[in-house]
Structure 1
Amino acid sequence: MLLAVLSGFILAACAPWLTRLLGDRAGWVLALLPAALFVYFLSWIPLTAGGAAEVVHYSWIPGLDINLSFLVDGLSLLFALLISGIGTFIIIYSGGYLHGHEYLPRFYGIMFAFMAAMLGVVLSNNIISLFVFWELTSITSYLLIGFNHEDKQARWCALQGLFVTVAGGLALLAGLIMLAGAGGSFELSELLNSGDVLRDYPLYTGMLILILFGTFTKSAQVPFHFWLPNAMAAPTPVSAYLHSATMVKAGIYLMARLNPGLGGTDQWLYTLGLFGAVTMFTGSFMALRSTDVKAMLAYSTIMALGTLTMLIGIGTEAAIIAALAFLLAHALYKAALFMLAGGLDHETGTKNILNMGGLRRLMPVSFITACVAALSLAGLPPLFGFIAKELMFEATLHAPAIATVTTVLAVISAIMIMAVAALFALRPYTGKLKETPKQPHEAPPSMLAGPVVLAALSLVFGVAGFLPVQGILHSAVAAVHGSPLEFKLYLWHGVNTPLLLSLLAVVTGLLVFAGWDRVLAVYRRLTFIDRFGPERGYERVMAALVWVAEWQTRVLQNGYMRNYLITILLTAVALAGGTFFIYTGNTVPFGTVDITFYEAVIAALIIAGAIVVSLMQSRLGAVATVGMVGFGVALIYVLFSAPDLAITQIMVETLTVILLVLVLYRLPRFLNLSSTAARIRDALVALLFGGMMTVLILAVLDVEVVAPISDQLVAWSYDEGHGRNIVNVILVDFRALDTLGEIFVVGLAAIGVYAMIRLRAEDKRS
Structure 2
Amino acid sequence: MLLPIIVTFLLAFLMLLLKPQKILRLFKFVCVVPLLLFLYLITYLPAVYQGTKSILFKNEWIPSLGISLDFKIDGLSMLFGLMITGIGTLIYLYAAEYLKRDENIHRFYCYLTLFMGAMLGVVLSDNLITLFIFWELTSISSFFLIGYNTDQEASRKSALWALSLTGLGGFLMLAAFALIGIVAGTYSLNELLAYPDVLLNNEYYYIIIFLLFAGAFTKSAQFPFHFWLPGAMKAPTPVSAYLHSATMVKAGIYILARFSPILGGDTVWNDTLMIVGGITMVMGAVLSVFHKDMKGLLAYSTISALGIIVFLIGIGTETALYAACTFILVHALYKATLFLITGIVDHATHTRDLSVLRGLRKVMPVIAIAGFIAALSSAGIPFTFGFLSKELIYGVSTDGIWTQESIFVLTGIALLTNIFLTSSGFLAGIRPFFGKLPKEFEKIKKPNFYLWFPPVLLSALTLLFGIVPSIVDQSILKSATISVLGTSTQMYLSLWHGFNLVLLLSAITIVLGILLYFAIKPSSRNESRLKGLDDFSPQTILTSIALGIRWFAFRYTRFFHNGYLRVYIMFIVIFFTGIVGYKLFADVPLRVNTEDLSAFRIYEFTVFVITIIAIYFITSTTSRLTSIAALGVIGYSICLIFVFYGAPDLAMTQFAIDTLTVVLFVLVLFKLPPFLKFTNKKIQFRDGVISVCFGILISLITLQALVSPSEKDVSKFYADNAYVLAKGKNVVNVILVDFRGFDTMIETIVLSIAAVGVYSILKYKTQDGEKSE
User: Does the 8 A contact of 2:355 with 2:522 survive in 1?
Assistant: no
Other-structure match for 2:175: 174
> Are 1:216 and 2:204 an aligned pair?
no
C-alpha distance 421-657 of structure 1, shift in aligned 2 (>3 A): same
> Are 1:453 and 2:452 an aligned pair?
no
* In 1: Cα distance, 2:299 partner to 2:125 partner: 28
- Using the TM superposition, name which of 547-556 and 590-599 deviates more: 590-599
* In 2: Cα distance, 1:530 partner to 1:557 partner: 36
Other-structure match for 2:447: 443
Other-structure match for 1:511: 515
Other-structure match for 2:493: 489
Superposition map of 1:497-576 within 5 A: 497-517=501-521, 525=529, 527-570=531-574, 576=579
Other-structure match for 1:418: 422
* In 2: Cα distance, 1:599 partner to 1:305 partner: 82
* In 2: Cα distance, 1:392 partner to 1:246 partner: 22
Q: How far 1:232 sits from its partner (Å)?
A: 0.4
Other-structure match for 1:392: 393
Other-structure match for 2:635: 626
Other-structure match for 2:36: 36
Letter in 1 for 2:240: S
* In 2: Cα distance, 1:679 partner to 1:277 partner: 63
Letter in 1 for 2:416: I
User: Does the 8 A contact of 2:263 with 2:269 survive in 1?
Assistant: yes
Q: How far 1:747 sits from its partner (Å)?
A: 8.5
Q: Summarize deviations over 1:225-249 as a string: whole Å, max 9, x none.
A: 1110010000000000111222111
Q: Taking structure 2 as the reference length, what is the TM-score of the superposition? A: 0.85
Q: Summarize deviations over 1:655-685 as a string: whole Å, max 9, x none.
A: 6335313302423578463533212201223
Letter in 2 for 1:373: A
Q: Summarize deviations over 1:106-143 as a string: whole Å, max 9, x none.
A: 21111111212222222222222222221221122111
Find 1:741's aligned residue among 741, 746, 753.
746
> Are 1:480 and 2:484 an aligned pair?
yes
> Are 1:23 and 2:23 an aligned pair?
yes
C-alpha distance 751-268 of structure 1, shift in aligned 2 (>3 A): closer
Other-structure match for 1:77: 78
Q: Summarize deviations over 1:359-401 as a string: whole Å, max 9, x none.
A: 1121011011111111111122211121111112222333768
User: Does the 8 A contact of 1:320 with 1:477 survive in 2?
Assistant: yes
C-alpha distance 746-713 of structure 1, shift in aligned 2 (>3 A): farther
Other-structure match for 1:681: 686
* In 2: Cα distance, 1:481 partner to 1:695 partner: 66
What SS does structure 2 have at the residue aligned with 1:60?
strand
Q: How far 1:265 sits from its partner (Å)?
A: 0.7
C-alpha distance 460-573 of structure 1, shift in aligned 2 (>3 A): farther
C-alpha distance 751-470 of structure 1, shift in aligned 2 (>3 A): closer
C-alpha distance 653-532 of structure 1, shift in aligned 2 (>3 A): same
- Using the TM superposition, name which of 680-689 and 157-166 deviates more: 680-689
**Number of corresponding residues:** 735
Find 2:412's aligned residue among 402, 408, 411.
408
Q: How far 1:689 sits from its partner (Å)?
A: 5.2
* In 1: Cα distance, 2:385 partner to 2:598 partner: 90
What SS does structure 2 have at the residue aligned with 1:20?
coil
What SS does structure 2 have at the residue aligned with 1:55?
strand
> Are 1:428 and 2:432 an aligned pair?
yes
* In 2: Cα distance, 1:459 partner to 1:650 partner: 90
Other-structure match for 1:663: 664
* In 2: Cα distance, 1:169 partner to 1:607 partner: 60
User: Does the 8 A contact of 2:635 with 2:655 survive in 1?
Assistant: no
Q: Summarize deviations over 1:35-58 as a string: whole Å, max 9, x none.
A: 111111112223333243233233
Other-structure match for 2:117: 116
Q: Taking structure 1 as the reference length, what is the TM-score of the superposition? A: 0.86
What SS does structure 1 have at the residue aligned with 2:179?
helix
C-alpha distance 752-480 of structure 1, shift in aligned 2 (>3 A): closer
Other-structure match for 1:187: 188
Q: How far 1:592 sits from its partner (Å)?
A: 6.4
C-alpha distance 176-608 of structure 1, shift in aligned 2 (>3 A): farther
Superposition map of 1:108-187 within 5 A: 108-187=109-188
C-alpha distance 685-497 of structure 1, shift in aligned 2 (>3 A): farther
Other-structure match for 2:107: 106
C-alpha distance 438-340 of structure 1, shift in aligned 2 (>3 A): same
What RMSD, in angstroms, separates the aligned Cα atoms of the two structures?
4.0
* In 1: Cα distance, 2:716 partner to 2:611 partner: 35
Q: How far 1:712 sits from its partner (Å)?
A: 14
C-alpha distance 560-302 of structure 1, shift in aligned 2 (>3 A): same
* In 1: Cα distance, 2:18 partner to 2:758 partner: 53
Q: How far 1:412 sits from its partner (Å)?
A: 0.2
Other-structure match for 1:761: none
User: Does the 8 A contact of 1:215 with 1:254 survive in 2?
Assistant: yes
Q: How far 1:285 sits from its partner (Å)?
A: 0.6
Q: Summarize deviations over 1:72-99 as a string: whole Å, max 9, x none.
A: 2221222121111111111111111112
User: Does the 8 A contact of 1:367 with 1:429 survive in 2?
Assistant: yes
Letter in 2 for 1:625: I
Q: Summarize deviations over 1:505-558 as a string: whole Å, max 9, x none.
A: 111111111222399967754542233211221222233233333333444433
* In 2: Cα distance, 1:713 partner to 1:121 partner: 53
User: Does the 8 A contact of 1:74 with 1:478 survive in 2?
Assistant: yes
- Using the TM superposition, name which of 312-321 and 168-177 deviates more: 168-177
* In 2: Cα distance, 1:64 partner to 1:710 partner: 32
Letter in 2 for 1:682: D
- Using the TM superposition, name which of 75-84 and 350-359 deviates more: 75-84
Other-structure match for 2:768: none
What SS does structure 2 have at the residue aligned with 1:125?
coil
* In 2: Cα distance, 1:52 partner to 1:486 partner: 17
Find 1:462's aligned residue among 466, 482, 485.
466
User: Does the 8 A contact of 2:377 with 2:462 survive in 1?
Assistant: yes
* In 1: Cα distance, 2:219 partner to 2:178 partner: 18
Q: Summarize deviations over 1:472-503 as a string: whole Å, max 9, x none.
A: 22222122112332322112222222222111
Superposition map of 1:239-388 within 5 A: 239-388=240-389
Superposition map of 1:85-100 within 5 A: 85-100=86-101
Other-structure match for 1:588: 587
Q: How far 1:157 sits from its partner (Å)?
A: 1.4
Identity %, equivalent residues: 38
Structure 1 unaligned blocks of 5 or more: 640-645, 755-766
User: Does the 8 A contact of 1:347 with 1:438 survive in 2?
Assistant: no
Other-structure match for 1:2: 2
* In 2: Cα distance, 1:207 partner to 1:343 partner: 44
Q: Summarize deviations over 1:419-461 as a string: whole Å, max 9, x none.
A: 1122223211111012447942321111112111111111222
User: Does the 8 A contact of 1:18 with 1:26 survive in 2?
Assistant: no
What SS does structure 2 have at the residue aligned with 1:356?
coil
Letter in 2 for 1:488: Y
C-alpha distance 530-484 of structure 1, shift in aligned 2 (>3 A): same
C-alpha distance 426-192 of structure 1, shift in aligned 2 (>3 A): same
Q: How far 1:624 sits from its partner (Å)?
A: 5.1
What SS does structure 2 have at the residue aligned with 1:208?
helix
Other-structure match for 2:14: 14
C-alpha distance 270-746 of structure 1, shift in aligned 2 (>3 A): closer
What SS does structure 1 have at the residue aligned with 2:149?
coil
User: Does the 8 A contact of 1:606 with 1:633 survive in 2?
Assistant: no
Letter in 1 for 2:589: F
Q: Which has the larger radius of gyration?
A: 2
Other-structure match for 1:760: none
C-alpha distance 482-671 of structure 1, shift in aligned 2 (>3 A): same
* In 2: Cα distance, 1:211 partner to 1:516 partner: 39
C-alpha distance 123-594 of structure 1, shift in aligned 2 (>3 A): farther
